[in-house]
């Protein structure tokens, strides 16, 4: 009986470990995607600033 319980706990613990590994991977991918989007937004903002400065100079 105790061996049964220990085996079930060990199995559940291994499943939990796998789920945590998967969540860590998914979180890393999400963070990398967010960082990439932020870099693109920064480049767009810099271009917009340049266009605005050029427009002001032309006026």
Between CA 53 and CA 51 the distance in angstroms is 5
Question: What confidence tens digit (pLDDT) does each residue in 2-53 have?
Answer: 899 999 999 999 999 999 999 999 999 999 999 999 999 999 999 999 999 9
Distance, in Å, from the CA atom of 4 to the CA atom of 8, rounded to the nearest integer, reads 6
Handedness of CA 14, 16, 18, 24 (dihedral sign): negative
Taken in order 18, 19, 24, 29, the sign of the CA dihedral is: positive
Q: Per-residue pLDDT tens for 41-53?
A: 999 999 999 999 9
First-to-final CA distance of the chain: 86
């Amino acid at each position: 009986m105790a061996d049964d319980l220990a085996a079930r706990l060990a199995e559940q613990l291994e499943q939990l470990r796998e789920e945590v590994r998967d969540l860590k991977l998914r979180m890393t991918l999400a963070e990398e995607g967010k960082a990439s989007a932020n870099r693109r937004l920064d480049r767009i903002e810099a271009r917009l600033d340049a266009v605005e400065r050029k427009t002001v100079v032309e006026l």
